[in-house]
Structure 1
Amino acid sequence: MERFGGIERLYGKKAMEKFRHAHVCVVGIGGVGSWIVEALARSGIGHITMIDLDEICITNINRQLHAMDGEIGKQKTSAMADRIRAINPDCKIIALEAFFSHRNANEILDQGFDYVIDAIDRVQSKSLLLDGCHKRNIPVISCGGAGGLRDPSKIHIDDISRCYNDNLMNQVRRNLRTKYGFPMGADPKRKIKARKFYIDCIFSSESPVYQQCDGEVSTEKPKNMADEGRRLNCMSGYGSITHMTATFGFFAVSKCLDKLASV
């Protein structure tokens, strides 16, 4: 296809054919997930499933691709489906207006995905998704918290067992160990090293900034701020910006394309 000729010249003819036949699922279509979907569509992925129940609100404009005048109030999956059709009319689109949960996990994950990208901001749902993919041998990558961050040069990719400085992923890792039987952490006294989960995640080594009572920001966490794993709430919580949320997403897409090309 002429519109994706640049992708073929970058990855090769065989890889491009794999992209056209690949089915990728993105869970969470917000500040990170919306950019993921856009990048997948512009890379020629032939089948994209999106999962999210949220509507676009005006406070999403600072970081979410689909958020703009004329789109406020629309379902996020619907808005992104329109963009995908304009980018690649041949792409098969499944837009599920739902939150990923125990009620629909099996039905969703049994669709035969070639790759799953986790852009959820809730610990329990992330853990459920990652465990479900792991048990089914579905390649998956998880995006950590992008809130409160400003320096994209400090973003990293590593196994979940090796990530650090990310409260969201720390909680997910603990949950996977205690509720889903993933390998326990290191025990220096017994000279036992932490075993890998064999699930990659995107995280940052940067210390987040917090808004203070006077309206300015600091790396000092306010005493009255709830610990929500660096979530990006519409009216409160961490601040956020496009060049961080999008970069988290682009890191994930890079790993996804490399995996699909190598199969």
Structure 2
Amino acid sequence: MSDLAWLGRTKLLVGDDGLQKLQNAHVLVVGLGGVGSFAAEFIARSGVGTMTIVDGDVVDPSNRNRQLPALATTHGQPKADLMAERLLAINPDLKLTSIREFLSPEAAEEILSSQKFDYVMDCIDSITPKLTLLTTAHKKGLRIVSSMGAGGKVDPTKIRTADLFDTRECYLASLMRKRLRKLGISSGIKAVYSIEKMIEESLMLTDGSNFKKSAYGTISYMPAAFGGGCASVVLRDLLGYPIEMEKKLKALASREKKQKEVEAKREKKRKEE
């Protein structure tokens, strides 16, 4: 094993065994935009020994408000190349495969069949390739965490983790659930999402490029917070740490109803006093 002094603080937290687990892991990150660029960096900084990153896009000026590889000096350059350079600058010993390609069904099958992945991170923000990755990875029995919509939201304290089919208040998650159910998938995909209601006024129609017909406004820290949430799911699963998952919507609704009843009784008591 090479010099791991730079991981000394991580070792204090996870121990030698934990560090070894991370060193032995291979994580696939698909999508290197606002969520994926931060998620990939967090995975690299954790000491994961092998990574594969995938993105066919280039930096656009509009990316600069939220994406790590997007600088005034990198417009038009491939995100995969920029992130590969950055990740290797963090950990020169990282075994890294960088794929500059948009995710077609053929590409998804080829990539997921080419190597053994300990975890798949879906950081794609377009429905068709996102569905392709999730269905292909799920059918192969791979562990998956999928980022839902960070756009149109501003409160990072509302970010949650749940099975995709237990999520709420997320338009992207709703679309994915409907399409996945039609393909016979109804569980087994961890999702990072937000229970915050979207700011509808931030919606913008696009020209339909890169599989997108519309997009919501974003603030700098929200995609990064989603990326951190996704990275935490991967790392805690690899380390064997417990992950608290949101319960099914019915259970949540029941809990919220009881809480409101308790608050109403307290308020009534206060008025009576």
Q: Distance in 1 between matches of 2:227 and 2:144?
A: 13
Contact 1:232 1:239 in 2 (8 A): no
Contact 1:232 1:238 in 2 (8 A): no
| Unaligned ranges ≥5, structure 1 | 184-196, 212-216
Structure 1 or 2: more helix by fraction:
2
Matches of 2:206 and 2:166 in 1, distance apart?
21
Larger radius of gyration: 2
Measure the CA separation in 1 of the matches of 2:43 and 2:87. Answer: 9
Partner of 2:60: 57
- Report 1:198-213 matches (<5 A): 198-211=188-201
Which segments of structure 1 move beyond 4 Å, counting only runs of 4 or more? 225-228
CA distance in 2 between counterparts of 1:29 and 1:38 reads 10
Q: How many correspondences in the alignment?
A: 235
Q: Which residue of 2 aligns with 1:192?
A: none
2:228 corresponds to: 250
Identity %: 38
**Which of 107, 119, 125 is matched with 2:129 structurally?**
125
1:41 deviation in Å? 1.0
**1:64, 1:26 → 2: CA distance?**
15
Correspondence for 1:157 among 132, 155, 161? 161
8 Å Cα contact 2:128-2:211 kept in structure 1: no
Give the 5 Å matches for 1:2-13: 2-13=5-16
CA contact (8 A) 1:53 1:97 kept: yes
Superposed displacement of residue 80, structure 1: 0.5
Cα root mean square deviation, aligned:
2.3
Matches within 5 A, 1:159-238: 159-178=163-182, 180-183=183-186, 197-211=187-201, 237-238=215-216
Which secondary structure does the structure 2 equivalent of 1:93 belong to?
Answer: strand
> Which residue of 2, 19, 26 corresponds with 1:23?
26
Q: Which whole-Å deviations, capped at 9, do the CAs of 1:96-139 have from their partners, x for residues lacking one?
A: 11111212122111111110100111222222211222221211
Q: TM-score, normalised by structure 2?
A: 0.81
- Give 5+ residue unaligned stretches, structure 2: 242-273
The answer to which structure, 1 or 2, has the higher relative contact order (CA under 8 A, 6+ apart) is: 1
- AA of the residue aligned to 2:137: C
Pair 25,261 (structure 1): closer, same or farther in 2 beyond 3 Å: same
1:92 Cα deviation (Å)? 1.1
Q: Tell me the TM-score normalised to structure 1 length.
A: 0.84
Cross-structure match for 1:141? 145
Contact 2:126 2:211 in 1 (8 A): no
**Aligned to 1:153, what secondary structure does the other structure show?**
helix
- Deviation per CA, 1:217-250: give whole Å up to 9, x if none: 6xxx7xxx6599xx997xx731112211001010
Q: Is the 8 A contact 1:157 1:200 kept in 2?
A: yes
